[in-house]
Structure formats: C-alpha cells, structure tokens
Amino acid sequence: MATVNPAAPGRRRPLRRVLLAIALIAAGLVAWYWKPINGYAITGASVGARVACSCHYLGGRSLSDCRKDFEPGMELITLSADEDAKSVTARFPLLARQTATYRAGEGCRLEAWHD
C-alpha cells in the first residue's frame, strides 16, 4: 500500500501564491507603463526604418551593415527590405512596425502612422 505525503500539496500553495503575486505585479507594471513602452517601440521602429532606408538605398550598403548606424539600445529592432518597392521595414517585436520608402529626389520617407 502506497503512503501519501500530506505535506506535498501544502508546499505548492505558497509557491503558487508567490507566482501569482509576481504575475499580477508584472501585469500591473506593464499596464501602468504601457504608453511609454509603446512610444519607445514606435520611435525605435521609425528611426530604424528611416536610418536603414537611407543607408541601404542612398548609401548602397547592406542591411546588416546598416545596423552599425543604430544607436545603443536598438538591438531588438529587426529589418527587412522590399527591393521592388524600395522600402525598408523595421519591427520592434510584438509592439511596433514602421516602413520607410525611398523616392528619387525626395529620399526616404516614413509611411503615415495609423493609430
């Protein structure tokens, strides 16, 4: 006959409560700071798209080389180019995406924002 350890389920409850408290605090912080976090993500994606578009289409450099022109803190920004449309899209994971398009005589311009 197997014995049951009555102390085992009791040990899980404090751990669950601590994890729940941490999750609630994290969710509260994200909700409280959402506007600045989202603003930084949009700004980073916009700067990344504009800088990479100018570097790639005006400077003739590769996108991987254009990343050298990014400011510190922009490591999460990813870049992709559409050679047919002559545009570069920069993305901040899950939060922001911005595209800059090259036009002869005008340079690189960001697409209009849609809020």
For residue 14, what pLDDT band results from cuts at 50, 70 and 90? confident
CA–CA distance, 91 with 78 (Å, rounded to integer): 5
- For 44-89, write each residue's pLDDT tens digit: 999 999 999 999 999 999 999 999 999 998 999 999 999 999 999 9
What lies within 8 Å, CB to CB, of 10 at 6+ separation is: none
CA–CA distance, 96 with 115 (Å, rounded to integer): 11
Instruction: Count Cβ atoms within 10 A of the Cβ of residue 22 and give its class: 0-12 exposed, 13-18 middle, 19 or more buried.
Output: exposed
Q: Is 89 in contact with 79 (CB distance < 8 Å)?
A: yes
For residue 12, what pLDDT band results from cuts at 50, 70 and 90? low
Q: C-alpha distances in angstroms, 112 versus 15, 34, 101? A: 48, 22, 11
Is pLDDT at 27 greater than 60 in this prediction?
yes
Of the chain, the percentage scoring pLDDT greater than 70 comes to 88
